[in-house]
Amino acid sequence: MSKKELNQVLGHADEADGIEEYDNPLPNWWLGLFYFTIVWGVLYGINYHFVAHNSEVKTLAAEMADADAKWPRQAEAAAATEVKLTPEAVAAGEAVLTANCVSCHGADMKGGIGPNLLDTTWIHGGAPENIVNTITKGVPEKGMLTWGPILGPEKIAEVAAYVISKNHEATGTPAVGEPAAPADTTKAGSPS
Amino acid sequence: MQYTAGTSVAGAARVEGVKYDEDIVKMFLIASVTWAVVGLLVGVIIALQLAWWPANLGLPWTTFGRLRPLHTNAVIFAFGGNIVFTGMYHSMQRLLKTRMWSDTLSRIHFWGWQLIIVSAAVTLPLGLTQAKEYAELIWPIDIAITLIWVVMAVNFFGTLAIRKVEHLYVAIWFYMSFVLVIAVLHITNSMAMPATLTRSYPVYAGLTDALVQWWYGHNAVGFFLTTPFLGLMYYYLPRISGRPVFSYRLSIIHFWALVFLYIWAGPHHLLYSALPEWAQTLGMIFSVMLIAPSWGGMLNGLLTLRGAWDRVRTDPILKFLVVAVSFYGMSTFEGPMMSIRAVNLLSHYTNWTIGHVHSGALGWNGMISFAMIYWLVPELWKRPLAHPTWPTAHFWLATIGIVLYTVSMWAAGLTEGLMWRAFDDSGLLKYPNFVDIVNQLHPFYWLRLVGGLMFLTGAIMMAINVFQTISRPSSSTAAAA
Ligand code: HEM
Ligand code: HEM
């Protein structure tokens, strides 16, 4: 564009309430940007769908595979974790319970939003593996979270140990450190 | 060729014998100022509720969930709508050299629109809603909107038909896209089968419903908060600054590019959803292509001000305009970036979106409206502002308020987005308790409240200024305004 063509008024002002308009050319960088985004958009679309055959489902699968390789699967890990009724496990479990469970099950564990943990009624089974399973999977339909991915198998085993240690009667397990106990560890496995 | 700038001298050319309908312009202007204060006040209240929950008051009518749609409807359709109508009725008559086709239709439009707003302000707190964002209003109100819109459109095209000029100035093209596209969007998205007076069932189901809704939602941004405001910019910016529009060619090309591309961009609200991926890709790439057409508007605004920059330093109205156009450019760059899959993966569901919304809404829509109001009041009522120094104070309050609002929301958005996706060494969520993340956001919510309060304070100053100006007896020296 020669300089002469710049800032020439169109002469429509009397038809635009006195507003003059120049007929300046489009700035080159603006045109360049416009063409660039169009070319980029078309190439992106072609590449995503027809060259790389990409998809969000595939991306997710790849991320999950990476995660599996890095960290073993939750369910398998849970199956391998035993509920150990050791004083250390029980103490650690108490901390987990205080941090996560008391808001629903009550500071005294006698229930609130969620059921009483110290009585003899177990809605989803009172055996250690049932307790671990209930915590891991949660009861989403009644508002209890799926704690598996949040706490991890280790903390779940600990908090289960604590619940069991507080409720021998209902779970039929011996108290912590009682010498006569036939077995102080119980294999807990997720039935799935 | 240049005419006197920065004065109330109307355009260089005037037809003798045409008497414009100034009253309708005044009515819409007063309505916009009033609804601006109401809408922003509700915004500040819900911002307080997010920072301090007891402000929900424990009453169903005042909870966040019911006041939030009240805020969005009040600012977009009450404040935004009325200011656009103010500008349309004012500039159209001048650009087309004719009075509006029908004064009666103008008044039906005005009172109908206000009635719709009042009914929205009653039904939303009562919890009566269709639960579609920006289209919450129940079906009887939707029908009223359609009827009033048709009244407005008939008057609009009637006025075009009796115009006394041949050439249509670019602002009119932008208004036309608003009148036509909003009608199509509103009717298509609101299709529903009434069940009772207050309840209805949408005719679309599932994914179709989602796609129609966000086709509507995005184009509400495009054709309610963008094109009519660009029309306002194309009339008021050169009129106020007295400078010729930088490029006619650019205005035509960016107009057509904008209206063509906007219509396709809706699926960027549904990335990573069940929407077929080809549709998501279309939404994403059309959004990226929107950068240049949007920036065409910003460029034409900023370059029109060449030669007026010395006055920007002293004239608060030009300051408002410069900031408005700059925020328009900023948010139309941010939006396309957020439409990119990988970016949206981080930004979606976070306060980043809220920051984006308000950099456009406060920065672009708010600031350009304030400029118009301060310029129009002395023009229309033919007297100087009651408080000529207040607009500068308003400008700084608003600008700092916007910066606090957007910066705090960007920070909050990035914080929560990154915390949601963080894993610890054993592959577990690093922040499994949602509350831990919310606690991190808390200071940002307070900061946003401060920004919102500053923005509201400025708007209240404007309202006082406007009402004191127009309630003073008109003086004979008025023309010096
Ligand atoms: C004093 C000024 C304002 C304040 C304090 C304010 C505050 C808020 C708050 C707290 C929300 C809810 C955010 C959330 O759900 O996390 C919101 C949403 C919204 N506001 Fe404002 N607002 C203001 C002005 C405006 C203006 C002027 C407009 C438009 C012209 C606007 C348009 C919107 C929209 C569209 C949403 C919904 C955003 C979304 O769903 O993503 N606001 N505002
Ligand atoms: C080229 C221009 C623009 C593009 C491509 C764009 C794109 C986007 C994207 C990707 C989102 C986030 C969607 C999500 O993750 O849910 C969004 C949200 C939003 N944008 Fe923009 N934006 C643009 C300009 C603007 C402007 C200028 C305004 C306001 C004046 C605006 C108002 C909004 C609103 C209100 C939302 C929130 C919608 C909701 O309720 O979720 N946008 N935009």
Is A112:A104 a contact under the CB 8 Å cutoff? yes
Is A188:A83 a contact under the CB 8 Å cutoff? yes
CA of B218 to the centre of ligand 2 (A): 7
What's CA A1's distance to the chain center, in Å? 58
pLDDT of the residue at A148: 85
CA B217 to ligand 2: nearest atom: 38
The first and second tokens of residue A27, run together, are 């700035």
- Name the minimum distance, in Å, from the CA of B148 to any CA of chain A: 28
pLDDT of the residue at B412: 98
Q: Mind listing the pLDDT tens digit of every residue in chain B (481 residues)?
A: 333 333 334 443 455 578 999 999 999 999 999 999 999 999 999 999 999 999 999 999 999 999 999 999 999 999 999 999 999 999 999 999 999 999 999 999 999 999 999 999 999 999 999 999 999 999 999 999 999 999 999 999 999 999 999 999 999 999 999 999 999 999 999 999 999 999 999 999 999 999 999 999 999 999 999 999 999 999 999 999 999 999 999 999 999 999 999 999 999 999 999 999 999 999 999 999 999 999 999 999 999 998 889 999 999 999 999 999 999 999 999 999 999 999 999 999 999 999 999 999 999 999 999 999 999 999 999 999 999 999 999 999 999 999 999 999 999 999 999 999 999 887 888 998 888 999 999 999 999 999 999 999 999 999 999 999 999 876 544 444 3
β-pairing, B192-194 vs B200-202, is antiparallel
Closest residue to B285, CB basis, from A10, A45, A71: A45
CATH topology of domain B15-472: Cytochrome C Oxidase; Chain A (1.20.210)
Does pLDDT of A98 surpass 50? yes
> Which residues lie closer than 8 Å to B198 by C-beta, 6 or more apart?
B123, B128, B138, B140
Q: What's the CA gap between B292 and B300, in Å, rounded?
A: 12
Hey, which residues does B247 pair with through a beta bridge?
A23
CB of B359 shorter than 6 A to ligand 2: no
Rg (CA), chain A: 33
Burial class (CB in 10 A: 0-12, 13-18, 19+), B142: buried
Does pLDDT of A169 surpass 70? no
CB atoms within 10 A of CB B27: 20
The first and second tokens of residue B161, run together, are 């038909």
pLDDT of the residue at A167: 80
Hey, what amino acid is at A3?
K
Cβ neighbours of B308 in A, within 8 Å? none
Q: Which residue has the higher pLDDT, A23 or B347?
A: B347
Hey, which residues does A9 pair with through a beta bridge?
A22
Q: What's the pLDDT band for A186 if we cut at 50, 70, 90?
A: very low
Instruction: Give me the residue label for tokens 């930088």.
Output: B246
Ligand that comes closest to the CA of residue B339:
2
Closest residue to B288, CB basis, from A15, A26, A37: A37
Three-state SS string across chain A, please?
A: CCHHHCCCECCCHHHCCCCCEEECCCCHHHHHHHHHHHHHHHHHHHHHHHHCCCCHHHHHHHHHHHHHHHCCCHHHHHHHCCEECCHHHHHHHHHHHHHHCHHHHCCCCCCCCCCCCCCCCCCCCCCHHHHHHHHHHCEHHHCECCCHHHHHHHHHHHHHHHHHHHCHHHHCCCCCCCCCCCCCEECCCCCC
Hey, which residues does A185 pair with through a beta bridge?
A84
The first and second tokens of residue A191, run together, are 């039935």
Closest residue to A48, CB basis, from B91, B281, B429: B281
Q: What's the pLDDT band for A85 if we cut at 50, 70, 90?
A: confident
Q: Which residue of B has its CA nearest to A12?
A: B167
Instruction: Give me the residue label for tokens 């002293």.
Output: B314
- Name the minimum distance, in Å, from the CA of B57 to any CA of chain A: 23
> What is the sign of the dihedral through the CA atoms of B231, B232, B235 and B238?
negative
Q: Which residue of A has its CA nearest to B433?
A: A150
Give residue limits of the domains in chain B.
15-472
Is A104:A113 a contact under the CB 8 Å cutoff? yes
Q: What's the CA gap between B11 and B452, in Å, rounded?
A: 37
pLDDT of the residue at B94: 96
In Å, what is the CA distance from A25 to each residue of A15, B255, B256, B296?
Answer: 22, 15, 16, 12
CB of B339 shorter than 6 A to ligand 2: yes
CB contact under 8 A, B13 and A14: yes
Mutational pocket test of ligand 1: of B357, B441, B445, the residue with most ligand atoms within 8 Å of the beta carbon: B357
pLDDT of the residue at A190: 42
Please tell me whether residue B162 adopts helix, strand or coil conformation. coil
- Which of B290, B262, B261, B266 is closest to B279 using CA atoms? B266
Hey, which residues does A21 pair with through a beta bridge?
B245
Q: What's the CA gap between B115 and A101, in Å, rounded?
A: 51
Q: What's the CA gap between B415 and B437, in Å, rounded?
A: 8
CB atoms within 10 A of CB A94: 17
Q: pTM for the full model?
A: 0.87
pLDDT of the residue at A77: 60
Does pLDDT of A157 surpass 60? yes
CB of B452 shorter than 6 A to ligand 1: yes
The first and second tokens of residue B78, run together, are 């009450």
DSSP classification of residue B310:
H
Instruction: Tell me the pLDDT tens digit for each residue of A99-151.
Output: 889 989 988 898 888 899 988 888 888 888 889 889 988 998 888 988 888 88
Hey, which residues does B192 pair with through a beta bridge?
B202
